[in-house]
Amino acid sequence: MRLLVVSNRLPVVLEQTDQGWHTRPGSGGLVTALAPVLSKWDGTWVGWPGVPHADDLDLDRTLAGAVMEQGYKLAPVPLTADEQRGFYEGFSNQIIWPLFHDLQSLCNFEPEYWTSYVTVNAKFADVVVRTARSGDFVWVHDYHLMGLAARLRQHLPLNRLGFFLHIPFPPPGIFCKLPWRGEVLEDLLRYDLVGFQTPRDLANFIDCVRTLLPGARKRRGPRGTVRLSHRDRTCVLGAFPIGIDFQEFADVAASAAVAERVKELRADMQGQRVVLGVDRLDYTKGIPYRLRAFQRALRRFPDLHRNVTLLQVVVPSRESVQEYQDLKAQIEQIVSQVNGEFTQPGWVPIHHVFRSVSREELVAYYRLADVALVTPLKDGMNLVAKEYCACQCDGDGVLILSEFAGSAVQLGRAAVVVNPYDLDRVAEAVHYAVSLTPQQRRPAMRKLRRNVRDHDVHRWVGAFLAAAEPADRPRADSDERASPAGRPRPREVTGVS
Ligand code: GDG
């Protein structure tokens, strides 16, 4: 069996220089996790190369070099600028992204976007069909490509098809606003396996199926999964919380180069305690609320003055979309307001970094930080929370975590859990976190690190692929209608103990 991974973007970055086009490897948890599996299984990654068509760009030739280095193949799906606008900026990021994060008021349900999404999903499917051989496992990633299975089924009847949703799945009250709700659900049920980040997302999906497709039948599957039968097909559903490459982060954090950088940063910070926020520029990450909460902390707890600094890294993202430009302006305004209110010679309360920093610099920030303030309004998982823990190789540090991040299911028992909308409680959490003694901080961080280590990204890949194995015969007595009373048993997600 070979593995085909399909995602919106290929795991490479194409760049144009005076010498022509060339590639450099992409970064991120998914690339790190899947690269070794792909090379072991003679795999191929299918995705959009990230740049619009250019006359002087020979995609196959440019990507050939990257293929040699990475040990697996790349199959590009070229998109026109119009397709990229309608499918990516439109349907994916102005409809599904806000809706699935419970922010339906930000949705723009433009019918053209749906048309573009259907066309582009068909284009992706065509490249997969051309690339796949009978028996290959096709693993599709994320909300941009929910509609691939229908077309793949027609042309690849013997291949197993898996899908993993990296973002949350909303409850029926929100999902039902989607004009194409029935199509999306039916499309997802055409996969053999659909994976979600948390048991809550899985339960929401089943509730939506129950609401919109009343004939669907639900049974227990192996290892906490659920089997849903609809029309002539059965789909396995499960919760597979994504992890990080713990060892890689821990090794970089323990390296001499990072230790040296942390020493420099500490000297720059002049003994202040550092509270760290790291986010892509996105309204789901709750950055304005976080900054307001920090402002409240400074107003209510004068002992924080000159003693605590918030280091907020914001990585530019989706800046062609109006909401993201507005968010950037809003963040800059609050930062300047708070700094104007509290700055004294020798102390600027918020350091705002608006750019991407290198992996090594990011790890140095994680190590430097006494407290990580991870307060998304809603998040599929949130890898920053896990990376922060992995990087505390001295066993110290405090994680303040939003109850609405998927990672709270695993880390909530040893983190300081907050409602990100509750500014006063978040302010108190910051004050509490910086007041803890090492004796109070260390046991919780030990538990957090153990949990992140034991549920790393390699285990995630293994669990998903194992669940995608052809099904055992279902037990005759486990049949039941999809109903509220018959909610799926949540997959056991080990909490820290
Ligand atoms: C989606 C879901 C889910 C950030 N700044 C820099 C940088 N980063 C890296 C972090 C982390 C990643 O970006 C962000 O991951 P998150 O999980 O926090 O968020 P999304 O990008 O929204 O990801 C999310 C995830 O998919 C995986 O399933 O957890 O819920 O929304 O890895 O390290 N990396 C570098 N410089 C930066 O400045 N090098």
Average pLDDT (34-42) is 83
Residue with tokens 């995609």: 59
Determine the distance separating the centroid of ligand 1 and the alpha carbon of 71, expressed in angstroms. 25
Q: What is the CATH number of domain 246-454?
A: 3.40.50.2000
Rounded Cα distance between 172 and 190, Å, is: 20
- Are 219 and 226 in contact, with CB atoms under 8 Å apart? yes
A 10 A CB-CB count for 180 gives 17
DSSP assignment, residue 162? E
29 Cβ below 6 A of ligand 1: yes
Q: Is 280 in the pocket of ligand 1 (CB under 6 A)?
A: yes
Q: 22 CB under 6 A from ligand 1? A: no
Q: 9-13, 170-174, 453-457 — which is least confidently predicted?
A: 9-13
- Cα–Cα distances in angstroms (integers) from residue 438 to residues 130, 305, 396, 443, 479, in the given order: 57, 21, 7, 9, 52
> In 2-31, which positions are buried (b, 16+ CB within 10 angstroms) versus exposed (e)?
bbbbbbbbbbbbbeeeeeebebeebeebbb
Q: Which atom of ligand 1 is nearest to the CA of 285?
A: 22
**379 Cβ closer than 6 Å to some ligand 1 atom:** yes
Q: Please, what's the b/e burial string for 240-277 (b: 16 or more CB within 10 A of its CB; e: otherwise)?
A: bbbbbbbebbbebbeeeebeebbeebeeeeeebbbbbb
Q: What is the pLDDT of residue 68?
A: 61
Looking at the predicted structure, is the pLDDT value of residue 96 above 90? yes
Mean pLDDT (the chain, rounded): 91
Q: pLDDT digits over 107-141, tens only? A: 999 999 999 999 999 999 999 999 999 889 999 99
Q: Which atom of ligand 1 is nearest to the CA of 242?
A: 28
Closest residue to atom 9 of ligand 1, CA basis: 28
Quote the ligand 1 centre to 244 CA distance (angstroms).
Answer: 10
Q: CA 29 to CA 486: how far, in whole Å?
A: 35
In three state form, how does the secondary structure of 43-86 look? CEEEEECCCCCCCCCCHHHHHHHHHHHHCCEEEECCCCHHHHHH
Q: Which of 4-18, 45-59, 438-452 is predicted least confidently? A: 45-59
Which whole number is the average pLDDT over 351-361?
Answer: 95
Q: Provide mean pLDDT across the span 375-398.
A: 97
Q: Which structure tokens are listed for 126? A: 């065509």
User: Ligand 1 center to residue 18 CA distance, Å?
Assistant: 31
Q: Which residues, 6 or more positions from 417, have their beta carbon under 8 angstroms from its beta carbon? A: 401, 402, 403, 408
- Dist. CA 347–CA 338, nearest whole Å: 12
> Which residue has the least CA distance to atom 1 on ligand 1?
166
Nearest C-alpha to atom 21 of ligand 1 is from which residue? 280
In angstroms, what is the span from residue 304 Cα to ligand 1's centroid? Answer: 29
Q: Is the pLDDT of residue 353 over 80?
A: yes
| CA-nearest residue, atom 39 of ligand 1 | 359
- Asked whether 125 lines ligand 1 (CB < 6 A), one says no
3-243+460-486 and 246-454 have identical folds: yes
Domain range annotation of the chain: 3-243+460-486, 246-454
Say yes or no: CB of residue 381 within 6 Å of ligand 1: yes
Local confidence band at 495 (pLDDT 50, 70, 90 cut-offs): very low
275-315 pLDDT tens trace: 999 999 999 999 999 999 999 999 999 999 999 999 999 99
Q: What is the mean pLDDT of residues 199-219?
A: 96
Confidence at residue 22, expressed as pLDDT on a 0 to 100 scale: 82
For the domain 3-243+460-486, what is the CATH code? 3.40.50.2000
Percent of the chain at pLDDT > 70 equals 93
Q: Would you please indicate which residues are annotated as catalytic (active-site) residues?
A: 166, 379
